[in-house]
Amino acid sequence: MADIQWMIRGPEIATCNCSYGCPCQFNALPTYGDCRAAVAMQIEEGYFGDLRLDGLRWAAVAAWPGPIHEGHGEIQPIVDRRATPAQREALLAIMSGQNTKPGATFFQVFASMIDTVYEPRIEAIEFEVDVAQATGRFSVPGVVDAKVEPIRNPVTGAVHRAKVALADSFEFVEAQFASGTVKATAPIALDTVGKHAHLANLHLTGDGIVR
């Protein structure tokens, strides 16, 4: 474990270009061969050493040319403009996998599979979520806009509920699976409709998930 202890707790919305369910959750290869994702989180409670992170948000857009474990990814980090300079640095440290045991969080795992990190954007991050109802949205004007809603039966239109619990993971204990629609611009472009999304209440430290 590295030098500074940290913790963040709060709801997350994650989307990608795969079919509903996301093969990554089952140790399978991505639906279309590559991975393109957008994610955001509202930190209800958090700290980085003695520095509080309560109420802040972060987001990211990322892409890999193949399965994530093959590497060569790129990421656009986005940090809440309400954060102080010290809080910005703390969030970027967490997002880049610093002060984290290898393999303990998705931040550290994904960071180790990324070649290109674009200059962090300091922006207003809009974020709304109801994890239980599998609905939400996040937006960074001019960068990314994502909306998630329940998966629906293609014949009847009825809501289809899907919840997944993982006994061993580096992101969440349990998540509501949903349908996501995402539009993002350069440097990482995304344009997906009705693809995978999940919503979860995260509780992470540098040692991994708090269960």
The pLDDT score that the predictor gives to residue 3 is 84
Confidence of residue 20 (pLDDT cuts 50, 70, 90): very high
Topology given in CATH for the domain delimited by 6-206: Acetoacetate decarboxylase-like (2.40.400)
Distance from C-alpha of 16 to C-alpha of 169, rounded to nearest angstrom: 18
Distance from C-alpha of 200 to C-alpha of 195, rounded to nearest angstrom: 17
Distance from C-alpha of 190 to C-alpha of 188, rounded to nearest angstrom: 7
Distance from C-alpha of 27 to C-alpha of 107, rounded to nearest angstrom: 18
Following CA atoms 12, 16, 19, 21 in sequence, which dihedral angle do they give, to the nearest 10 degrees? -30
pLDDT of 1 higher than 90: no
The pLDDT score that the predictor gives to residue 59 is 98
The string of pLDDT tens digits covering residues 45-97 is 999 999 999 999 999 999 999 999 999 999 999 999 999 999 999 999 999 99
The three-state secondary structure class of 109 is helix
The string of pLDDT tens digits covering residues 86-118 is 999 999 999 999 999 999 999 999 999 999 999
The pLDDT score that the predictor gives to residue 159 is 96
